[in-house]
Amino acid sequence: MNAADAIRELHSTWCEVTRQDLHPKATERLFFEFWRAEFTAQDLRCVLDHMQRFNRQNPGAQFRLHAQKVLGDLEMFASTLAETRAKERNRRPAPTARQQVEALRDRPVDAECLRTAAAQAGPITAAEAIKRLKESL
């Protein structure tokens, strides 16, 4: 890929991820230096996604998503990229509803909780208890 194509790809990635409309001529030099340092659009997307996720989780301490700030210091970008990749390797996806239910099944049952639930439900017949037991299996 030549420099012009790489700069266009980096620019479109930046605009897509940050939803900022940067003028290509204003940031051309930043993207060229970024490309020359052998970073890719995927690297840029990874770091920007990390910064946005961090901003959503920690509203008080936010990363500034300015092109000059993010791309201007390539050493800082490289360290942020390394940190982001390490966190991505260790990040666990949110459990699905099925996984949450399965985790609850394996927990020990609290006897006091059962007595309270039974007291609230009121008396049931043996046939109804058997029916509920069959449905739960």
Q: Specify the higher pLDDT residue, 10 or 59.
A: 10
Count CA within 13 A, CB hemisphere, residue 122: 1
34 found inside a domain: yes
Per-residue pLDDT of 70-82, as tens digits, reads 888 888 889 888 9
106 found inside a domain: no
109 found inside a domain: no
Q: How far apart are CA 72 and CA 68, in angstroms?
A: 5
Per-residue pLDDT of 16-54, as tens digits, reads 888 888 777 777 888 888 888 888 889 989 988 888 888
How many folded domains does the chain comprise?
1
What domain range includes position 17?
3-90
130 found inside a domain: no
132 found inside a domain: no
Compute the C-alpha angle 53/55/59, nearest 5°.
135
97 found inside a domain: no
- Look up residue 11 and give its amino acid: H
Q: What is the mean pLDDT of residues 100-117?
A: 68
Per-residue pLDDT of 51-107, as tens digits, reads 888 888 887 766 777 777 888 888 888 988 898 888 888 777 777 877 777 777 766
40 found inside a domain: yes
30 found inside a domain: yes
